[in-house]
Amino acid sequence: MKSGDKYIPLKKLNEIKELALKNPEKFWGEQARCLDWNKTWDKVLEWKPPYAKWFVNGRLNACYNCVDRHILTSKRNKAAIIWVAENGDTKIMTYYELYRKVNKFANVLQNLGVETGDRVAIYMPMIPEAAIAMLACARIGAIHTVVFSGFSADALAERINDAQAKVLITSDLLYRRGKKINLKNIVDKALLNCPTINHTVYVKRNSDLKLVEGRDYSWEELMKGAKNYIDPIPVDSNHPLFILYTSGTTGKPKGVVHSTGGYMVYTTKTMEWTWGVNDMDVFWCTADIGWITGHSYVVYAPLALGTTIVMYEGAIDYPNPGRIWEIIENHGVTILYTAPTAIRMLMTYGEEWVKNHDLSTLRILGSVGEPINPRAWKWYYEVVGNRRCPICDCYWQTETGGHIIYPPIGIQNIPLKPGSATFPGIGIDADIVDESGNSLPANKKGLLIIKNPWPGMLIGLWKNNKRYEEAYWKRVPNCYCPSDYAIKDEDGYFWILGRADEVLNVAGHRIGTAELEHVLVSHHAVAEAAVIGKPDDIKGEVPVAFVILNKNFHDKNKKELKEELIKYVKETMGPIATPHMILFVNKLPKTRSGKIMRRVLKKLIMSEELGDLSTIEDNTSIEEVKKELMDFEYR
Ligand code: WTA
């Protein structure tokens, strides 16, 4: 099956889908040929629920597939990365240059004592060195764990410690909205609590960088003495390529582990099926490398296919709201992949900013991170795409590795419905079920499940099998449950309705309410906290915290306390988790067994009917919250 501009008939697509489910071994065995393998697998799939091993005993190197193999073809001198800085500076790196830098940096890592299987933490701005660092790890079989550069020192330290990373690769600063953010200070603070880190490598940018003797090194200096070539190390197909932390329903983030073979095959194939990329394409996925979208569709899949990517450091509406459109025009971007929250924000600036640019190179518009509301869909389609470009709404998760429900526009031009991610993708057997696992009829809301393993599926949670089994495979026995509500309409289209657990989706980012509550109660003024999500026009959802103060804080100035708590959350977790509102209450609605009734808090904040209150322990807690809501002054 070839991707490209030519579509296959719908009947053929359905046949492929059928074959992929009926005979997954045959199907995925053929698809895996999209990569170069050092040793072919003995068996395509070994499925011991809930653990899948894909391409058993196969050996390959992800970096070789993303870089080396293109050097042997006419892609050698093609742009791999078009990098744009917030101040407009642009650098174009060819595949050959990328190859040289990745080799050298892989040797730098070796010289720092990094070996196959060791963990390397990456905490970096959106600069080409971030992709180089990831690929260099893959080249020597080291497992990277990228931490989003907006996370705080504590969040960084927590992730480094869980993964027990040996080396940290970072930068002294990053640029955002015209400001310089000093990463070095954050890193120095984190490293006070990271005993496993032996060395830190800094990409030096503009600041007066003070290195700690024997621990800190400058990227540039180390690269000078590094070898031009080192052999890529073939690893087992099920060797972890990376760990990426994501929020869960408990206070601790989950270390999602992805394999090398299965993950690379699945992301590469979904990249082809979704967009049908070819050598004329300039692909721009606006996600940060700190998230899964940045791993799969900024780095691994596009580079495995030898695509030209755009990487942009900074805010897409800075220094003016036309920045995103200017980059598309300047570099002839053909596929844009962004999030509904970004589209809604861009909408607020008006059409003029879009219309002032020539966007005729665009051919597909992608959306990811949350359901795209029909108004944003229409604007994206009509104003940005000029009614020419299909909107490709891709539903997936950190854990799924690649797209799960999406229109395979690269091979089939299926009719779209605004707000629906269309159908389960090739090789995905999905359904909507009730809490007992019974399949639901059309238009009935239930839990989305996946009934079969697929190559991009996580291989586990880092050193925590029990949590892996409980988080994904217990809610609906023997099925993968992503914990999202959905419906399937009468035409079989899937509509994702939002999270079915205590996780918020704030501007496309997963924030665990438990994680945020945990941070709040770690503050000395707080006795108890409950966090819920409140709908927001731009961000989709924002966190709202109900806080019970410790006794000796009752008389303190509430405004100052709120500010202090907000500052504390920003420092402890990172700015993305900042509560939109903090309400001080004396009681929280709880069940008789002592569980906080977040459902009731949510209804209260939205002024909706409260529903069944038969299990509530103390009715006065409701009056209490209502009163506080009435008195609340918006920040
Ligand atoms: C949500 C991001 C509706 C969903 C790739 C999922 C979506 C969570 C969509 C994963 C979409 C992602 N339509 N909801 N197209 N894409 N989601 O792990 O709740 O950061 O479970 O991965 O985002 O977020 P994550």
Question: Bigger pLDDT: 554 or 450?
Answer: 450
| Multiple choice CATH, 502-634, 3.40.50.720, 3.10.20.30, 2.60.40.10, 3.30.300.30 | 3.30.300.30
Contact partners, residue 606, CB within 8 Å, separation at least 6: 534, 535
pLDDT category of residue 6 using cuts at 50, 70 and 90:
low
Best probe residue, ligand 1, of 256, 289, 395, 422 (max atoms within 8 Å of C-beta):
395
Which of 397, 449, 485 to mutate to test ligand 1, by most ligand atoms within 8 A of the CB atom? Answer: 397
Structurally, what CATH architecture does the domain formed by 10-315+394-486 represent? 3-Layer(aba) Sandwich (3.40)
Residue matched to tokens 């019974």: 438
From the alpha carbon of 394, which atom of ligand 1 is closest?
15
447 lines ligand 1 (CB under 6 A): no
Ligand 1: does its nearest atom lie under 6 Å from the Cβ of 129?
no
Report CA(404)–ligand 1 centroid distance (Å): 10
CB 124 less than 6 A from any atom of ligand 1: no
Q: Is the CB of 391 under 6 A from ligand 1?
A: no
Phi, psi of 11 (to 5 degrees): -60, -40
Q: Residue with the nearest Cα to atom 12 of ligand 1?
A: 369
The verdict on the CB of residue 510 being under 6 Å from ligand 1 is yes
Q: Is 60 exceeded by the pLDDT of residue 3?
A: no
* Average pLDDT across the chain, whole number: 94
pLDDT at 192 over 50: yes
Q: Is the CB of 253 under 6 A from ligand 1?
A: no
Q: Print the SS3 string covering 377-446.
A: HHHHHHHHCCCCCCEEEEECCHHHCCCCECCCCCCCCCCCCCCCCECECCCCCEEEECCCCCECCCCCCE
pLDDT, tens digit, for every residue of 109-140?
999 999 999 999 999 999 999 999 999 999 99
Domain span(s) for CATH 3.40.50.12780 in the chain: 10-315+394-486
Q: Which atom of ligand 1 is nearest to the CA of 406?
A: 15
Segments of the chain assigned to CATH 3.30.300.30? 502-634
Nearest CA to ligand 1 atom 6: 397
Q: Are 67 and 135 in contact (CB under 8 A)?
A: yes
Cβ–Cβ < 8 Å for 299, 241: no
Ligand 1 atom nearest the C-alpha of 399 is 18
Tens digit of each residue's pLDDT (9 = 90 or more) over 28-53: 999 999 999 999 999 999 999 999 99
Ligand 1 centre distance from Cα of residue 369 (Å): 4
- Phi then psi for residue 228, to 5 deg, are -75, -25
- Residues paired with residue 460 on neighbouring β-strands, in sequence order: 257
Query: Following CA atoms 269, 273, 275, 277 in sequence, which dihedral angle do they give, to the nearest 10 degrees?
Result: 60
298-354: pLDDT as tens digits: 999 999 999 999 999 999 999 999 999 999 999 999 999 999 999 999 999 999 999
CA of 303 to the centre of ligand 1 (A): 23
Question: What gap in Å lies between CA 160 and CA 162, rounded to an integer?
Answer: 6
Of all protein residues, the one whose alpha carbon is nearest to atom 5 of ligand 1 is: 397
Pairing of strands 308-312, 79-84: parallel
User: Measured from the CB, is residue 370 less than 6 Å from ligand 1?
Assistant: yes
Higher pLDDT, 470 or 251: 470
**Protein residue closest via CA to atom 15 of ligand 1:** 395
Q: What is the pTM of this model?
A: 0.94
